[in-house]
Amino acid sequence: MTDWISVCAVTDIPVLGSRRVARAKGPQVALFRTADDRIHALLDRCPHKAGPLSQGIVFGNAVACPLHNWTIALENGCAREPDEGRTPVFQVKVEDGVVLLDRQELDTVGIDLPPVMAGPCTRVAC
């Protein structure tokens, strides 16, 4: 059974923007909001050179990495051709305007990778 935890309100994420969720270990998690209010969560780390995806430009269903302009699909974390690679994706659930993430994924996915240090982020209450 999934242990969903509240991380923020949908309105805390700018339209065509992002918000980061801090974790005790590993890179933060980047939350993205599309123009049609869909919410996606990726590890805040480009598969190319570990750029902070949360600082990239969101367009359509993708984000452009701010370092080298790689385009990463928000649905599956895959780099678009001709680039190759993938960043981990986190399950997202939205209930009554609140964004929820899976606690087990937050505690395990990508924690072996060094964190990317860039800009402010919100802490998850444990």
pLDDT at residue 125, as a whole number: 47
Starting at the edge strand found earlier in the chain, the sheet holding 122-123 runs 89-90, 39-43, 29-33, 17-22, 122-123
Pair 62, 74: CB distance under 8 Å:
yes
Domains annotated for the chain, with CATH where assigned, are 4-123 (2.102.10.10)
Instruction: State the chain's mean pLDDT as an integer.
Output: 91
pTM given for the model: 0.89
pLDDT, tens digit, 9 for 90 and up, residues 1-38: 889 999 999 999 999 999 999 998 889 999 999 999 99
